[in-house]
Amino acid sequence: MEHVWGERLREQFGRDLDLRVIPARTAELAAMPEWLDASISVALTRRGIHELFAHQLTALNEIHQGNNVVIATGTASGKSLTYQVPMMQAVVTNPKARALYLAPTKALARDQERALTEFGLPQVNVCAYDGDSDQGERKFARDMANILVTNPDMLHHSMLPGHSKWASYFRNLEVIAVDECHTYKGIFGAHVSNVLKRLIRVCESYGSTPIIVMASATLAEPHAHAHMLTGQTFTPIVHDTSARSSITIGLTLPEPTLGTSFEGDVVRKTAIAQGAGLLTELVQDRIRTLVFLRSRKAVETVATITRESLSQENPELTGTVTSYRGGYLPEERRDIERRLRSGEILGLATTNALELGIDISGLDAAVLTGWPGSRASFWQQVGRVGRDGTDGLVVMIASDNPMDHYLVTHPEHIYGAAVEAAVCDPTNPLILAGHLTCAAAEIHLTDDEISRFGPLPLVERVLAELCTAGLLKKRPTGWYWNGRSQAHSAVDIRGAGKSPIRIVDTTSGQMLGTVEAASACRQAHEGAVYVHLGETFLVEQLLLDEDVALVNPTNVDYSTYAREISNVAVVETDTSCTWGAATLHRGIVDVTEQVIGYQKRRNLTSQIIGDEPLDLPEQTLRTQAMWWTVPQSVMNELQIGDVAGCVHAAEHAAIGMLPLFTLCDRADIGGMSMAEHPDTGMPTVFIYDGHLGGAGFAYRGYELASQWLGATHDTIAACSCSDGCPWCVQSPKCGNNNSPLDKQAAARLLNFMAEQSRV
């Protein structure tokens, strides 16, 4: 049945709206397994769980038989129970047994601590072990807890390097649960894969072989992803037999504003302004709503705009809207989670922190301001609503970028396509080297085990380089850590590589939050607007040497957007293929990036009201890239006069579309184009990974280039603008002020590329 808001959305968005209903589904139920301990059956009954979904029973029986399992079913399908039950069964039936739960975020781990405690089993001592734990909690976790909930960071920085202190724990570890494993992709996924392989290795050294249970959002080939993360074999559980409420989903472009651009093109509201407007209306109707946004800044902006609107129309509701994102202090996060569960909060602007499996029922609607980056994330966010049996409403508002425009106008690529595969490369030599030093520092490496970390020739080459550098020492019995400092402190598994930048209010001395060092020049440069819990601050100074940005409270109605320039030099070409006269390559490049200025844009209209220069240091990284070259003779045949504008527009659009084909964010990749690149001598477009060493995204683009560049052409060709706009070929990050750009020439070039790919 269509949601009551369906007709309201049709009236508001008209022909720009695609509205459809995902029908309700009846559950397939099964009885509790006979082998389940009676005390656990009673605990489940107390919580209203009298039967299982059929896929839960299948998973539990596989685990009981000693098989590793990865379960990749929809949101609210009961995935948590498939690892909670084995963990409780282990510690209830064996007093010495231990279990480990790993989550990608502290919030999710704390949520599982609460959930496991609420089962009320006296034999279960569950404890969270994370960066917020005090010394007493850490001692209890090590000495008393039989179910430990933590994250990969604590495993890497504390438990594995100090494994001798945890000897009894690792010796008796029977179950490892890895939750939300689809989030382990890219650089972070590559690090976590090596951490998990080191964990398994330490367990083996103490004589234990724990069963591994992985839970994931719907994901292409989940068993392959689980194998890549651990090196182990898994049984996949993918058939979802849970009940589901009806969900009405609307995909739409934002509403047009009253004016037009200088060229006469339609000007639309920003997705942020439209999302804030929808949130205001939904809260006024007492519909509990999440608004998902792609950045911390956008989260705070939507919460602020919504509260301001409510203060004028329904002031009693102002306090029911807040924000939730990374960077908050632990006590702030937990207070918001508590208020959301209790129903005090009606509207919440959030990043994907609440996309993950934090157990919050009673949510009625979700507003997605922009495509969340993947079909897996889209269905995760859709699944946050209607979890208590009531019909749900989801509205996705397209942001002003090529991919969002393409998906709203081609909804079959959401509903009719399979979810993506997670991409990560654990054998990236720059990442692998750090983890081999950590593994050797934990327990010396031997010849017969190093293949667990990757292909033997590669691992041996990296080990030899580490020995040459003096970090490892090769002895007859294996490789030993030879460094003077702790190996683990040199490896940042979140990929930043440096300490985060602290955001400090100069008027109070209070630390408001942090940003990653790699993002500091873009997010915390002098003049940047920083928003925290609805309060706006202006960055006065960015002190990179001291890892701090100093801010002052302010009251402005604009946001800031950094502009960057980049240069790319080819280091090594791994492979190439020809498409007629065009050639595609993939390989290693050196990228030099610099933030050269920033724009000020009105929050509600995105109108540019200022363009300020900056003088910040260059940053260089060696990474993976794909690129394509087209001879000048082809450009002449295609009657392309502005070659620089052509390849520049094609580059922008291709960057915008690549996340549709691989599990990456637009911020994970970059690009550069030239009418005549010095390394190729011809018109060239580069697309590269924005992470040191690469994350596999550009290489995936090389593999799927035909589909990717074909969709990029279709997006440009379908856009109704005259000369290019943010919906097709303009980029907010462009350091050249989106000049030159030739939209029509880019469409002809990409059409040529697509045709040549089929020859």
Both 618 and 536 in one domain: the answer is no
Both 586 and 648 in one domain: the answer is yes
Measured distance CA(571)–CA(129) in Å, rounded: 43
Measured distance CA(220)–CA(614) in Å, rounded: 43
The answer to whether 345 and 315 are in contact (CB under 8 A) is no
Both 517 and 650 in one domain: the answer is no
Both 595 and 456 in one domain: the answer is no
- Element containing residue 198 per DSSP (H, E): helix 186-205
Both 74 and 187 in one domain: the answer is yes
Both 123 and 35 in one domain: the answer is yes
CA 60 → CA 89, 92, 181, 575, distances in Å?
Answer: 11, 16, 18, 45
303 lies in a domain?
A: yes
187 lies in a domain?
A: yes
243 lies in a domain?
A: no
Instruction: Write down which residue in 515, 530, 556 finishes a domain.
Output: 556
Using the 8-state DSSP alphabet, how is residue 445 labeled?
B
Both 744 and 596 in one domain: the answer is yes
pLDDT, tens digit (0-9, with 9 covering 90-100), for 640-672: 999 999 999 999 999 999 988 887 777 789 999
Both 630 and 658 in one domain: the answer is yes
Closest CA to 665 of 356, 399, 373: 373
Measured distance CA(520)–CA(524) in Å, rounded: 5
Residues in the chain: 759
Can you spell out the DSSP letters for 713-732? Answer: HHHHHH---SS--TTTT--T
Measured distance CA(406)–CA(711) in Å, rounded: 8
52 lies in a domain?
A: yes
Domain that holds residue 704: 562-757
Predicted local confidence at residue 568, as pLDDT: 96
Task: Classify residue 719 as exposed, middle or buried by CB count within 10 Å of its CB (0-12, 13-18, 19+).
Answer: buried
SS (H, E, C) 542-566: EEHHHCEEEEEECCCCEEEEEEEEE
CATH classification of the domain holding 287: 3.40.50.300
The answer to whether 75 and 179 are in contact (CB under 8 A) is no
**Tally of structural domains, the chain:** 5
424 lies in a domain?
A: no
Question: What 3-state class would DSSP assign to 84?
Answer: helix
Q: In what order do the strands lie in the sheet with 501-505?
A: 511-515, 501-505, 548-553, 535-543, 529-532
Instruction: Write down which residue in 514, 538, 556 finishes a domain.
Output: 556
Distant-in-sequence, close-in-space partners of 706: CB < 8 Å, separation ≥ 6: 754, 757, 758
* 236 preceded by a cis bond (ω within 30 of 0): no
535-572 in b/e form (b: 16+ CB < 10 A) is ebbbbeebeeeeebbbbeeeeeebbbbbbbbbbbebee
Q: Walk along the chain (759 residues) in steps of 10 and give the mean pLDDT of each run.
A: 91 95 94 97 96 98 98 90 98 98 90 94 95 85 94 96 96 98 88 98 98 89 94 96 94 82 69 96 95 85 94 94 78 82 90 62 88 85 83 94 88 84 84 96 96 96 96 96 87 72 92 81 93 84 93 90 90 95 96 92 81 91 94 95 96 92 80 96 95 87 94 91 86 81 95 85
Q: Which residue has the tokens 């100069």?
A: 506
Predicted local confidence at residue 76, as pLDDT: 82
Both 201 and 147 in one domain: the answer is yes
Task: Classify residue 484 as exposed, middle or buried by CB count within 10 Å of its CB (0-12, 13-18, 19+).
Answer: exposed
Both 534 and 572 in one domain: the answer is no
55 lies in a domain?
A: yes
Beta bridge partners of 17: 252
Instruction: Write down which residue in 441, 464, 490 finishes a domain.
Output: 490
pLDDT, tens digit (0-9, with 9 covering 90-100), for 99-144: 999 999 888 898 899 999 999 999 999 999 998 888 888 888 998 9
Both 614 and 474 in one domain: the answer is no
255 lies in a domain?
A: no
244 lies in a domain?
A: no
Predicted local confidence at residue 225, as pLDDT: 94
Tokens of 121: 């089993």
Both 208 and 318 in one domain: the answer is no
Q: For the whole model, what pTM was predicted? A: 0.78
